[in-house]
């Protein structure tokens, strides 16, 4: 509790008045002689204890009257009201999106300023405050994972020093801004907080582009939000917001173009802005060749301009580099955008045909291979991602190191060494796709089963009787079937089969699709880094006429795309740091982004990942605090929009009314004390 008119506390000296009056009256007692005091003594003895208590009570009440009066005039107010014994939960959200790299007027980065403010908050907080602090951009990054207290069996609150040690500004900020993710975490954390006052501090630059990304449930009613605006007005920013190759994966010596978009966020026109593309090949075959292209652009304020860079034919290998603008602005981080292009052959698909025939039409892989090749036999469509090659069971298994996916079609038996090589191939990350048929029996698949390449126990063949066998349901969230989640894009129920292979799924196998009647149609099993997918029917016309369906090609590509990694993004994948999960295709389940990414070109397991910051971060337009609060339904404290550490509101010269003033309570208390004094005084014998 603090006081606005602290000088009035001097009036507490008036507490001496009742005592003096008491002492003065004691000395002025008049003398009276009585024949006996026997009656008086009885009365006094009878009331002695009560009278003594009442006298002290009376003295206390009179002192309290004077004290309360002094406090009333001193105008006390609360820094923060909280129930005794209850802990205040303070949740702090610190924006670490790319725009928090902007420099403050004092030269410090905004993120450093934010961390400094939180340091002050933590340092000045009372002992009964517990802090939950997290950085956020497009994802949430709590500085402490919940640590269980072994003795109390509940999460342990980190100590203040522990927090201050851990609370360090990140070296670089490059994430997008997603307030929804941050507020969702804050809401959950506050909801789980122990009973007591709950406060939310948000330290952000109120970037406009971060508002519209996600819907958030409102915070609990009693949460007071303090908004610390760390944004800068009139930011001069030029940014490369896009560097998109027409094809990031192309054939060797193939030519492509790169589309570059530059945004002028400054208030002035950018004339003759140099835009530079630099690519370098890391392949030994190209001898470390570099490509540098330079263009100039004129961009009006607040507009985007695009430019196409036509690349020369690229030799086999990975080409990686940057597109940058040569200028100086307030936010240099978005002046560069990373690019990567891969010049290599398509995915190599090895088809092992179990029913080889002199007539290619009669072989079991004829239609499947044609679907992949997209060209007459012996030719390959230039844009096809797959390059199939078919062998027969008697043929020697080629070197699988250069193969991406192996497809077994109605294969009766397989040499044990081949099975072992195949198993090693899958464990190393390769994909295996199996189509069944008449040749696939429990006996014929024993070797595969021994190598762990089956998805369950083969139990024979199920033939259709009066009605054809149709697909009934499938996992529409799985990458294979996600494109078919909308029937308008292709209704898999229309596919019919005359027979299928009955398989009892293994415990670790996942049934992705089922026929009517419940028999598994598509099963998957993870083996090492790779996976095995079984389709329990043929991929030719033997058991079905589905090759004539317009769904054949998409389904075949989905099956192979999943096994090769094409569905997940191909060999060169682009990532933009702006959302926690990225939808691969409309309707598809979002894949979870690996954490700890930073802009650049990174070699991952089986693909190259190009990471860039979100182009939205280049839009430095700011929302107002009201817009922010209304967007997320926050109850902003009156003193909340601050550039400084939250300080208690003070009344200048003591003339303004402070919200947390306690004088009405003290006035009520004074009235009650006076009433009590009157009552006690009337009932107290002197």
Partner 1 sequence: MTFDPRTLADPVFFSRLDNLELRARGIVEGFMHGLHRSPFVGFSVEFASHREYAQGDDLRHVNWKLYSRTNRLYVKQFDAETNMNLYLLLDVSGSMDCRSKGVSKMEYGAALAAALAHLALKQHDAVGLILLADEVIEHIPPKARPHQLSEILRLISNTKPRKATSAARAFPQAAELCKHRGIVVVLSDLFDDLDSLMQGIERLRFQNHEVILFHLWDRYERDLPLEGHYKFHDLETGEILTTQADGVRDGYLAEVRKWQSELEIQCRNRSVDRVELVTDEPLDQALLDYLVRRAKSF
Assess 362 for contact with partner 1 (CB under 8 A): no
Q: What is the C-alpha separation between 628 and 208, in angstroms, rounded?
A: 9
Which of the stretches 26-34, 137-145, 156-164, 339-347 binds partner 1 when contact is defined by CB under 8 A?
26-34
Q: What is the C-alpha separation between 617 and 71, in angstroms, rounded?
A: 52
For partner 1, the closer of residues 19 and 489 by Cβ is 19
CA angle 466, 471, 474 (to 5 degrees): 155
156 contacts 149 by C-beta, under 8 angstroms: yes
The nearest distance, CB 151 to partner 1, in angstroms, is 59
The nearest distance, CB 677 to partner 1, in angstroms, is 15
β-strands 509-515, 520-527: how paired?
antiparallel
Query: Of the candidates 13, 19, 46, 285, which one interacts with partner 1 according to CB under 8 A?
Result: 46
Which of the stretches 21-29, 497-505, 536-544, 653-661 binds partner 1 when contact is defined by CB under 8 A?
21-29
Assess 24 for contact with partner 1 (CB under 8 A): no
Assess 34 for contact with partner 1 (CB under 8 A): yes
Structure tokens at 559: 């099956």
Query: Of the candidates 20, 36, 271, 272, which one interacts with partner 1 according to CB under 8 A?
Result: 36
235 contacts 620 by C-beta, under 8 angstroms: yes
384 contacts 422 by C-beta, under 8 angstroms: no
Assess 49 for contact with partner 1 (CB under 8 A): no
Count residues near partner 1 (CB under 8 A): 24
- List residues bridging with 462 in a β-sheet: 500
For partner 1, the closer of residues 28 and 402 by Cβ is 28
318 contacts 281 by C-beta, under 8 angstroms: yes
Residues contacting residue 2 through CB under 8 Å, at least 6 positions apart:
76, 77, 78, 79, 648
Which of the stretches 24-32, 300-308, 475-483, 665-673 binds partner 1 when contact is defined by CB under 8 A?
24-32
H or E, element range at 680? helix 663-683
Count CB neighbours of 435 within 10 A: 27
- Neighbour order of strands in the sheet with 405-409: 386-391, 347-353, 405-409, 431-435, 530-535, 520-527, 509-515, 469-474, 496-497
- On the CB side of 362, CA atoms within 13 Å amount to 5
For partner 1, the closer of residues 34 and 507 by Cβ is 34
Assess 38 for contact with partner 1 (CB under 8 A): yes
Assess 40 for contact with partner 1 (CB under 8 A): yes
- List residues bridging with 306 in a β-sheet: 261
Query: Of the candidates 21, 23, 42, 383, which one interacts with partner 1 according to CB under 8 A?
Result: 42
Assess 23 for contact with partner 1 (CB under 8 A): no
For partner 1, the closer of residues 35 and 85 by Cβ is 35
The nearest distance, CB 62 to partner 1, in angstroms, is 15
Q: For the window 375-414, what string marks contact with partner 1 as x by the rule CB under 8 A?
A: ----------------------------------------
Q: Backbone dihedral region of 429: left (phi > 0), alpha (psi from -120 to 50 degrees) or beta?
A: left
For partner 1, the closer of residues 45 and 272 by Cβ is 45
Query: Of the candidates 159, 378, 596, 686, which one interacts with partner 1 according to CB under 8 A?
Result: 686
Interface positions with partner 1 (CB under 8 A): 25-26, 28-44, 46-47, 684-686
């Amino acid at each position: 509790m603090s006081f606005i008119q602290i000088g009035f506390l001097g009036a507490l000296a008036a507490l001496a008045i009742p005592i003096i009056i008491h002492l003065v009256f004691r000395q002025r007692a008049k003398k009276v002689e009585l024949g006996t005091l026997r009656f008086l003594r009885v009365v006094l003895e009878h009331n002695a204890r009560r009278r003594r208590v009442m006298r002290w009570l009376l003295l206390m009440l009179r002192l309290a009257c004077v004290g309360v009066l002094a406090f009333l005039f001193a105008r006390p107010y609360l820094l923060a009201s909280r129930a005794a014994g209850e802990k205040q939960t303070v949740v702090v959200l610190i924006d670490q999106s790319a725009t928090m790299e902007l420099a403050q007027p004092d030269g410090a980065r905004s993120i450093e300023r934010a961390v400094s403010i939180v340091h002050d908050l933590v340092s000045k907080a009372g002992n009964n405050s517990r802090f939950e602090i997290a950085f956020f951009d497009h994802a949430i990054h709590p500085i402490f994972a919940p640590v269980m207290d072994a003795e109390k069996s509940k999460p342990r609150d980190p100590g203040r020093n522990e927090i201050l040690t851990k609370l360090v500004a990140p070296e670089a900020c490059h994430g997008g801004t997603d307030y929804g993710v941050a507020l969702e975490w804050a809401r959950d954390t506050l909801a789980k907080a122990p009973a007591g006052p709950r406060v939310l501090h948000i330290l952000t630059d109120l970037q406009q582009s971060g508002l519209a990304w996600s819907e958030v449930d409102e915070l609990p009613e009693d949460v007071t939000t303090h908004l610390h605006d760390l944004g800068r007005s009139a930011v001069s920013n030029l940014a490369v917001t896009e560097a998109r190759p027409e094809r990031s994966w192309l054939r060797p010596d193939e030519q492509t173009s790169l589309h570059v978009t530059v945004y002028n966020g400054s208030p002035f026109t950018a004339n003759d802005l140099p835009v530079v593309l630099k690519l370098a090949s890391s392949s030994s075959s190209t001898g470390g060749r570099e490509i540098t292209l330079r263009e100039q652009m004129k961009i009006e304020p607040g507009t985007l301009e695009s430019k196409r860079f036509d690349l020369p034919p690229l030799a086999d290998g990975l080409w990686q580099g940057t597109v940058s603008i040569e200028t100086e602005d307030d936010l240099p981080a978005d002046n560069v955008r990373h690019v990567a292009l891969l010049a290599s052959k398509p995915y190599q698909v090895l088809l092992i045909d179990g029913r080889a025939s002199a007539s290619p039409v009669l072989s079991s892989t004829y239609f499947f291979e044609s679907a992949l090749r997209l060209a007459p036999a012996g030719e390959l469509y230039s844009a096809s991602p797959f390059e199939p090659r078919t062998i027969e069971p008697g043929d020697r298994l080629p070197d699988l190191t250069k193969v991406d996916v192996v497809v077994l079609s109605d294969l009766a038996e397989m040499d044990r060494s081949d099975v072992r090589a195949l198993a090693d191939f899958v464990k190393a990350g390769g994909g295996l796709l199996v189509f069944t048929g008449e040749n696939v029996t429990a006996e014929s698949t024993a070797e595969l089963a021994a190598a762990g390449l089956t998805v369950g126990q083969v139990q024979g063949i199920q033939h259709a009787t009066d009605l054809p066998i149709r697909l009934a349901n499938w996992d529409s969230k799985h990458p294979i079937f996600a494109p078919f989640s909308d029937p308008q894009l292709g209704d898999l129920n229309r596919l019919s089969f005359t027979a299928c292979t009955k398989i009892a799924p293994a415990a670790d196998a996942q049934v992705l699709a089922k026929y009517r009647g419940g028999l598994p149609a598509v099963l998957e099993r993870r083996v090492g880094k790779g996976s095995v997918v079984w389709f329990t029917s043929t991929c030719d016309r033997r058991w079905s006429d589905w090759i004539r369906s317009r769904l054949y090609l998409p389904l075949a590509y989905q099956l192979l795309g999943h096994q090769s990694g094409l569905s997940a993004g191909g060999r060169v994948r682009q990532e933009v740091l702006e959302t926690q999960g990225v939808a691969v295709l409309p309707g598809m389940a979002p894949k979870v982004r690996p954490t700890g990414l930073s802009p650049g070109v990174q070699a991952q397991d089986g693909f190259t990942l190009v990471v860039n910051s979100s182009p939205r971060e280049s839009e430095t337009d700011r929302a107002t605090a009201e817009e922010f609060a209304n967007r997320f339904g926050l109850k902003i404290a009156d003193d909340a929009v601050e550039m400084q550490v939250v300080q208690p509101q003070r009344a200048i010269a003591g003339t303004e009314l402070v919200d947390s003033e306690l004088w009405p309570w003290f006035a009520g208390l004074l009235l009650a004390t006076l009433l009590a004094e009157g009552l006690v005084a009337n009932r107290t014998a002197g």
